[in-house]
Amino acid sequence: MGYLTTFTLFNDDIDEVLKKPGEFCRELYQHAAGGGLSGSRFISLGHASRIAKAFKPRHASERTVYVQTGGSIYEFILMQGKPGN
């Protein structure tokens, strides 16, 4: 298996996706391909400044946990190997 990219969509302005589906797909592709993560991790469409958040693409063998609480999302990268190493 290759790389996985996790996205979080914010529902507040989700109707912007229907207005500009091609642009939204290009933004998703750009972030999944790694090109969008040198700058902002947020995807904007129309008047919506934060329609989605892209997390760093990670190899499928990496263990990552995402926790959402309230309006915040936390990313935890679990270390490989045995406990104590």
Q: How confident is the model at residue 37 (pLDDT cuts 50, 70, 90)?
A: low
Q: For the residues 3-7, what does the mean pLDDT come to?
A: 89
**What contacts 1, CB < 8 A, 6 or more positions away?**
60, 61
Question: pLDDT of 53-77, one tens digit each?
Answer: 998 888 888 888 999 998 888 888 8
Per-residue pLDDT, 81: 62
**DSSP 3-state assignment of 38?**
helix
Q: How confident is the model at residue 14 (pLDDT cuts 50, 70, 90)?
A: very high
Per-residue pLDDT, 7: 92
